[in-house]
Amino acid sequence: MNKHIDHETFTDIVHKYYEEVVNYLYRFCGDRYLAEDAAQIAFIKCWQNLDTYDKTKTFKPWLFRIAHYTAIDLLRKEYRQGDTISDSVEGKSPTPEQIIEENEQTVYIRNAILQLPEHLRSTIILREYHQMNYRDIAETLNLPIGTVMSRISNARKLLAKSLEPLIEEK
Amino acid sequence: MNHNEITKYLDAYIDNQLNTALSKEVKDHISVCQTCQHIIQQRQYIVALLKKHKPYTPASEDKIEKIISHIKILEEVNDKKSKHNTGLWLIVGIILIITQIFYFLTSLLSIIEILQPSLLITIPFSLLPWYINLAFTPLSDFLVSTLHVFQPQTLQHIKLLLGFWHPRLIFVNLTIGCIAISLLSLKIKIFNIPEISIS
């Protein structure tokens, strides 16, 4: 037994959220292996810091916040090892497995998202792919709701520009 | 609100994140503004496009198992640590409480000795706690001895009580009592694990 939660309950949490967390991190940093490493570290951090979790708030934004900052830390470590942060994110080319799984348009969209500045990228991913409402996004990224609103708007504007060829195809 | 102000809320409007009044205001504006209608259409298309083409990576069961086993190890280490710590806290807490009870009883004996010395004859080993009490509380010892030897009977009783309840003694007693209670309540808190809801 530990803190607020026992091992079995936490195992359920890992099963319930692992895939969603890994996919958030994958969409955010574009690297499956980094996403898996960050998710693993995030769940362990989450377990170790359960006593700081405010039970009056929803669990998911808290977990996602830990995962988000863990991924940023890992990306910074990569950056210190030589790459720039944007290189380490934008320079990820899809693996052969990914190419099989994702069609051309998906890869195009994935790259468009990865080219967004980090602060816009995290906000738009949480909104579009994880269906978080503005309040939860604000809680996850520790921002005022107004900032979330303007970030989503700016991200969509930039995506509209970079996805113009797809929009024209329509 | 004018057109520029309304455009700030268009995305939140698409996402249904506005309150009813604001949402109605934006809706009314869109119905008469072609520029906003165009922006809305474009944004809705972007949203649909992103929804349709979700980058996805499957969850590896191995990774999940790795996390769970890692946490299990951490839990076992924590359990060992907390058992060791709670055991220590419990012993310290009990020792402090016994000291308090002992102090209280020996203080009583001290008062009896001065007020009714004949009563002490009926209490076996009465001198032993008395001397131990002296060792524990040198200030009360000093006050009691002084009062016992030099003061008239009534004044002696009053000063005797004042001596026992000297602020320094009260402070020491309260501190020890608080530490003991905190340690024991901490021990109780460790076993009282509240439920958590997963939403």
Q: What is the pLDDT of residues A85-96, one digit of tens each?
A: 555 555 455 555
Beta strands in B56-133 (DSSP E): none
- Rounded to whole angstroms, the Cα distance separating A34 from A43 reads 14
- Provide the residue type at A118 as one letter: E
- Please tell me whether residue B55 adopts helix, strand or coil conformation: coil
- Please tell me whether residue B47 adopts helix, strand or coil conformation: helix
Query: pLDDT tens digit string along A75-115?
Result: 888 776 665 555 555 545 555 555 555 578 888 898 999 99
Task: Please check the confidence at residue A143 and state whether its pLDDT lies above 70.
Answer: yes
Question: How does residue B125 score in pLDDT terms, banded at 50, 70 and 90?
Answer: very low
**Mean pLDDT across chain B, nearest whole number?**
71
Whether ipTM > 0.90 holds is: no
Task: Please check the confidence at residue B145 and state whether its pLDDT lies above 70.
Answer: no
Q: Residue B183: which residues within 8 A CB-CB, separation 6 or more?
A: B89, B90, B92, B93, B96
The residue among B188 and A22 whose pLDDT is bigger is A22
Task: Please check the confidence at residue B104 and state whether its pLDDT lies above 90.
Answer: no
User: Which residues on B lie below 8 Å from A11 (Cβ)?
Assistant: 68, 71
Measure Cα distances from A85 to A35, A89, A92, A154, B94 in Å: 15, 6, 11, 21, 57
Question: How does residue B131 score in pLDDT terms, banded at 50, 70 and 90?
Answer: very low
Contact B44, B21 (CB under 8 A): no
Mean pLDDT of A53-68: 92
**pLDDT on residue A134:** 96
**pLDDT on residue A160:** 92
Which range is least confidently modeled, A113-117, A131-135, B17-21, B125-129?
A: B125-129
**B76 in contact with chain A, both atoms CB, cutoff 8 A:** no
Task: Please check the confidence at residue B87 and state whether its pLDDT lies above 80.
Answer: no
A5 pairs with which residues across the strands? Answer: A2
Per-window interface: A 63-122 vs B, CB < 8 A: 98, 101-103, 105-106, 109-110, 113
Contact (CB<8Å) B15/A6: no
Angle ∠(A162,A126,A167) on CA atoms, nearest 5: 25
The residue among B94 and B154 whose pLDDT is bigger is B94
Q: How far does the CA of residue B192 sit from the closest CA of chain A (Å)?
A: 9
- Rounded to whole angstroms, the Cα distance separating A70 from A75 reads 9
**pLDDT on residue A114:** 92
- Rounded to whole angstroms, the Cα distance separating B89 from B184 reads 7
Q: Residue A115: which residues within 8 A CB-CB, separation 6 or more?
A: A90, A162
Q: What percent of chain B has pLDDT over 70?
A: 47
**Mean pLDDT across chain A, nearest whole number?**
85
Task: Please check the confidence at residue B113 and state whether its pLDDT lies above 70.
Answer: no
The residue among B188 and A128 whose pLDDT is bigger is A128
**A27 in contact with chain B, both atoms CB, cutoff 8 A:** yes
**pLDDT on residue B191:** 47
**pLDDT on residue B71:** 87
**pLDDT on residue A89:** 54
**pLDDT on residue A45:** 92
Mean pLDDT of A134-162: 95
Task: Please check the confidence at residue B32 and state whether its pLDDT lies above 50.
Answer: yes
Size of interface A-B (CB pairs under 8 A): 136
